[in-house]
Chain A
Amino acid sequence: MVSPGQYNEAVDKYADGLYRFALKLCGDRDDAQDLVQDAFEKLWKNRKKVDSQKIKSYLFTIVYHKFIDNYRKKSFQASLEETGLDPSYTDSYSDVKEVLQKAIDRLPPAQKSVILLRDWEGYSYKEIEQITGLNENQVKVYIFRARKFLRDFIKDPKILI
């Protein structure tokens, strides 16, 4: 059970992190804001059922699944059209952070989600498992592969073009 006070506290505590996460996942401010609003709307509607100790993971779970749903729909639409490579990826890179940001954007959605949850939010493998619905081994494999991808990209951004 989440009281209105706890709900408002959750807005203060988690809205920023949730927005960062959503923004990095979908890359569009409006879409990210919608995802955050959806998550809080759902929390408010289900506040009597939600465990107040699990508000944060509840919110991230909603954003993650909503994003994956939207992504699948968009992927389906995109597969019907021809898509070219983003020319910005052929630019030269000046520092590691910048390269890393580009690299994250190129990760597959599931890998991107788990590594953001791990590094930005500090979730354990077990918690990520609960949020994403993946099993613990899948979470581990996704994180390890994402790190491999990021490392290869940092080393030579052009090899992956």
Chain B
Amino acid sequence: MITRKNYETYVLDYLEGTLSEDLKKAFENFLNQNPDIREEIESLCDMPSITPQQESFPGKHRLKASTIKGLTYTEELIIAELENIATPEQRQELKYIINNDPQIKNLRLEYQHTKLQPPDITYPYKNYLKHKVISLPVIIKNAVAYAALVILLIAITTFLRHPDRQIATSLELRPGIEQTFLLTPADLAPMPRLNRPVIVKHNKQNTSHHSNKQTVTTTRDTISSPQQTAQIVDRIKPKSFSVQVPITHTIIIHNNQEKTKFYHTLADLGTKTKKKFSTWLEERGIKITRREFMIKIKNRSYGISVAGK
């Protein structure tokens, strides 16, 4: 029997629909007889239901660990985005973090500054690196001209290689014969504003005593006025040194700026020859810097090339 005294025990089950059919009918009859209680129960039905709030922990990203030692999780996300390797989920997460944490926005901005821009630097010796390209049709077309040129070159080479002949542009060494050369300061002077390498020539002498040597210096450009030479010599003041070269290569001394012109010539030498030449320089107290073909005298660099057998 449902009465005004005990009806409350049935209210909740009635509202949730868990009453048995008999009790449900009995409870509805009771409500019909007591309209004030019906009104009270109906007002309960209009109450909003209580659902769990959608709360999230604001600093989750600070708790997460980075896969890279020394970086925070957020930094890893920012760099991944900058590097264009972030997954869609990572981008979404970063967006969320930035929206909720203004400091991260600044951090992201700082990282964007680490993107490097290449400076405007050009390599100055491109032309020296290039090799001649001759196409086959051109060769065929000019076959006669080339043949004539080859004959001419052979003739010139034969003429220049004659033992009694001095090659005007280089210091030449005879195979198997120990020869002595005296290099004077003037020989080593850097040549200003020349558009091709200046190569010095020396007369060969078989005596080892310096004072008896005759040194003849010629250059292919005119810097040889006594005043100009004196100025240059005075500026660099390198020690004269004599060289005794029992190897069979031509030695060319040129200033630092010209070294690339000889580069391929040197590169063609075998390792043994290079080593032999390096040893030869070291034995004479000549400091070899950077590459085998550089020597340093009084803190100025000069190039040395070894060419041709």
Contact = CB atoms under 8 A, between A and B. Distances in A.
A110 B226 CA distance: 53
Interface stretch (B71-79, B190-198, B203-211, B240-248): B71-79
Nearest to B116: A119
Contacts of B82: 147
A140 B85 CA distance: 10
B118 A148 contact: no
Given A96-B113, A154-B113, A33 B122 contact: no
Contact of A119 (B79, B115, B122): B115
Interface string B40-56: 00000000000000000
A31 B79 contact: no
Interface in B80-120: 82-83, 85, 110-111, 113-119
Interface in A85-111: 96, 100, 104
B68 interface: yes
Given A15-B126, A119-B117, A154-B114, A31 B290 contact: yes
B83 A143 contact: yes
Nearest to A152: B110
A123 interface: no
B70 A145 contact: yes
B117 A4 contact: no
Contacts of B113: 96, 100, 150-151, 154
Interface stretch (A36-44, A49-57, A75-83): A36-44
B132 A144 contact: no
A interface majority secondary structure: helix
A115 B116 contact: yes
B145 interface: no
B113 to A, nearest CB: 6
B114 A36 contact: no
A20 B290 contact: no
B131 A8 contact: yes
A157 to B, nearest CB: 13
B70 to A, nearest CB: 6
Contact of A16 (B68, B114, B123): B123
Interface string A13-41: 00111111001000000110110110011
Interface stretch (B10-18, B168-176, B260-268): B260-268
Interface in B4-32: none
A84 interface: no
A148 B121 contact: no
A145 B123 contact: no
B133 interface: yes
Contacts of A118: 83
A5 B202 CA distance: 40
Interface string B132-149: 110000000000000000
A148 B71 contact: yes
Nearest to A32: B123
Contact of B290 (A11, A17, A34, A104): A34
B57 interface: no
Interface of B: 68, 70-71, 75-76, 79, 82-83, 85, 110-111, 113-119, 121-126, 129-133, 256, 260, 263-264, 267, 290-291, 301
25 contacts: A4-B133, A7-B130, A8-B130, A8-B131, A12-B126, A15-B123, A15-B129, A17-B118, A18-B123, A19-B122, A20-B118, A33-B125, A34-B290, A36-B129, A45-B267, A100-B113, A119-B116, A125-B85, A140-B85, A141-B68, A145-B70, A147-B79, A147-B114, A151-B111, A151-B113
**Which 4 A-B pairs rank lowest in CB-CB distance, beginning with the nearest?**
A19-B123, A119-B116, A15-B123, A150-B114
